Amino acid sequence: MKKLNILPIVVMYLLFFMIAFVTNLCNPMAVIVKNNFAMSNFAAQLGNAANFIAYAVMGIPAGMLLKRIGYRKTALVAILVGFAGVFLQYMSGWAAIESFWVYLAGAFTAGCCMCMLNTVVNPMLNILGGGGNRGNQLVQFGGVCGSTAAVLVTIIMGSLIADASKAQISDATPALMIALGVFAFAFVVLMLVKIPEPETNEGKGDNLKQKDKERYSAFSFRHFNLGMVAIFMYLGIEVGVPTYVMQYLTTPADAATAGMGINAGIVGMIVAVYWLLMLVGRFLGGMISGKISSRAQIIGVSSMSLILVLLGMFLPDSWMVKMPGIDWATLTVMTAEVPVGVLALILVGLCTSVMWGGIFNMAVEGLGKYTSIASGAFMTMVCGGGILIPLQGKLADVFGNFQMSYIVVLACAAYILFYALVGSKNVNKNIPTE
């Protein structure tokens, strides 16, 4: 790695941290919203849905903006949008407003920001690493920063919520202030640091025949199209697993969809283990990605995800295991008994850790000049989190059982395995990409 690239890489990692911190606010906020507005499991996840649906709206425009004004300016615009989104969520808890619709608007606006930033950081790190295994390695290390943020926000929000049956949006004020502070800090850093704009061959195709320009696009590549579906499914795993572990453990036992009724502060620590495992997995993935291909990694982790989700769904609830947590009221470490199936679901975090970077790199491999637009289009499929997560909540309502809702996660893992085995192969190598 050239010494000149270190600072841009560090800046990209800061943006990774910010993306994860704000995105993972949605999961514990769903617990708050469920009580604050007396909503079903499905309705409580509409904030999550708005955050991820924003990717479907902003994905392609973000790619076009990236191409027009460059990586640095796109990131600066995104940060301003994100600041507005988080502030709207903060406003939704004001006594004079107290509006679920304002919260949804804030979640959607924040999601637009996350989409724009993801459009920047993923191809930027891939390019700085020279593509291939090295590019995947940098993306995986970026994921470590994201997982660190996810762990922190889960613990912080768990401590702020405590009793889920009494949670109010105003309880989340400290976490929202932290998010606003992170946005402000990142904006200043990005203003002061020069980010070299990667050279692309887009718009330089004078040597190509006009008919080729009109004939081909990123969507001409089968492996890219199937990769878009894979990232759609991936969000169902990454977000679906911890979201409904948190819902299951915090929901009272006498609710329509029965849960464990455990203090949210303790649950926050338990669910944080999921994100901690993602951090560990991404760090390990970053270490080995220079030697082991993305395809081999995704085959392994998607297979293991299938096994763990099946265990989480069907192991008897009577089989219990102790997991550590913190009672934030007394600042004491304690343990809580949870079904062993919950532990199996928490372990899925180790599997999802490398999925994003691996799928992204397989999907854009060999796209050449189509990469920046492809990155934007790729981001549209993050809306999978906005569709699959409420769907899982609906199944929980219908079955009256959180475990059976994991049918959604099971299907997602099965598709990703198919993509790694078959769909990721580039069968369109005859298409000109320079």
Instruction: Quote the pTM value.
Output: 0.74
Q: pLDDT tens, 57-112?
A: 887 788 788 778 888 888 899 999 999 999 999 898 888 888 889 999 999 999 89
- Residue holding tokens 């490398």? 354
Average pLDDT over residues 232-249: 91
Three-class DSSP category at 327: strand
Over residues 354-390, the pLDDT tens digits come to 898 889 888 888 887 777 677 767 777 878 877 898 8
Nearest of 267, 261, 245, 262 to residue 349 by alpha carbon: 245
Taking the C-alpha atoms of residue 353 and residue 279, their distance in angstroms, rounded to an integer, is 7
The answer to whether residues 137 and 128 touch, using CB atoms and an 8 Å cutoff, is no
Handedness of CA 339, 325, 31, 279 (dihedral sign): negative
Residue 83, pLDDT score? 93
Q: Which residue has the higher pLDDT, 61 or 193?
A: 61
Q: What local confidence, expressed as pLDDT, does residue 150 receive?
A: 79
95-101-104 Cα angle (round to 5): 110
**Residue 253 resides in a domain:** yes
Give CA–CA dist 95/134, Å, rounded: 51
Strand partners, 321: 338
Residue 433 lies in a domain: no
Predicted confidence at residue 285, as pLDDT, reads: 75
pLDDT (tens digit, 9 = 90+) per residue, 104-135?
999 999 989 988 888 788 777 766 666 556 66
User: Cα–Cα distance between 63 and 280 in angstroms, integer?
Assistant: 31
In the prediction, which pLDDT does 412 show? 96
Q: Which carries the bigger pLDDT value, residue 82 or residue 137?
A: 82
Looking at residue 417, which CATH number applies to its domain?
A: 1.20.1250.20
Torsion of CA 355, 43, 178, 74, to 10 degrees: 60
Could you tell me the two tokens for 378? 């790729």
**Could you tell me which of 297, 426, 400 has the C-alpha nearest to residue 351?**
297
CA–CA distance, 29 with 7 (Å, rounded to integer): 34
Distance CA 423, CA 417 (A): 9
**Whether 139 contacts 9, CB under 8 Å:** no
> What pLDDT does residue 196 have?
65
Q: What is the spatial distance between Cα 274 and Cα 147, in angstroms, rounded to a whole number?
A: 9
Q: Are 116 and 78 in contact (CB under 8 A)?
A: yes
Residue 139 lies in a domain: yes
Residue 302 counted as domain residue? yes
- Specify if 213 maps to a domain: no
**Whole-number pLDDT of residue 60:** 77
Q: How many domains does the chain have?
A: 1
Q: Which residues pair with 327 in a beta bridge?
A: 332
d(CA 119, CA 231) in angstroms, rounded, equals: 14
Tens-digit pLDDT profile for residues 2-28: 444 677 777 788 888 888 888 888 878
Question: What pLDDT band is residue 406 in, cutting at 50, 70 and 90?
Answer: very high
pLDDT of residue 329: 55
Rounded to whole angstroms, the Cα distance separating 377 from 119 reads 9
Q: Cβ–Cβ contacts within 10 Å for residue 322, how many?
A: 11
pLDDT band at 420 (very low <50, low <70, confident <90, very high): very high
DSSP string, 39-95: --HHHHTHHHHHHHHHHHHHHHHHHHHHHHH-HHHHHHHHHHHHHHHHHHHHHTTST
Where helices occur in 92-172 by DSSP H, the ranges are 100-128, 132-161
Query: For residues 330 and 161, which has the higher predicted lDDT (pLDDT)?
Result: 161
- For 270-285, the pLDDT digits (tens) are 888 888 888 888 778 7
User: Is 45 part of any domain?
Assistant: yes
Q: How far apart are CA 303 and CA 277, in angstroms?
A: 17
Q: Tell me which of 191-200, 294-303, 400-409, 425-434 is least confident.
A: 191-200
Which tens digits make up the pLDDT trace of 140-173?
A: 677 778 778 877 887 788 778 767 677 788 888 8
Residue 342 has what pLDDT? Answer: 94
State the pLDDT at residue 4. 44
Amino acid at residue number 145: C
Whether the per-residue pLDDT at 220 is higher than 70: the answer is yes
What gap in Å lies between CA 318 and CA 338, rounded to an integer?
Answer: 9
pLDDT at site 203: 46
Q: What is the mean pLDDT of the chain?
A: 82
Asked if 113 and 22 count as a contact pair (C-beta separation under 8 A), the reply is: yes
Q: Give me the domain span that covers residue 309.
A: 3-191+220-423
Angle at 133 between CA 278 and CA 117, to 5 degrees: 60
Instruction: Note the pLDDT of residue 427.
Output: 80
Q: What is the pLDDT of residue 299?
A: 95
Which ranges in 315-346 belong to alpha helices (H)? Answer: 340-346
Pairing of strands 320-327, 332-339: antiparallel
**Average pLDDT of the segment spanning 249-256:** 84
pLDDT score recorded for residue 261: 87
| Residue of 335 and 156 predicted with greater confidence | 156
Q: Has residue 428 been placed in a domain?
A: no
Tokens of 76: 């600066």
The answer to whether residue 163 sits within a structural domain is yes
pLDDT tens string 304-316: 999 999 999 999 9
Say what percent of the chain tops pLDDT 90: 24
In this model, does residue 208 exceed pLDDT 60?
no
* Bridge partners for 83 per DSSP: none
Please tell me the predicted confidence (pLDDT) of residue 135: 64
Mean pLDDT of 326-331: 57
Q: Counting beta carbons within 10 angstroms of the beta carbon of residue 422, is it exposed (0 to 12), middle (13 to 18) or buried (19 or more)?
A: exposed
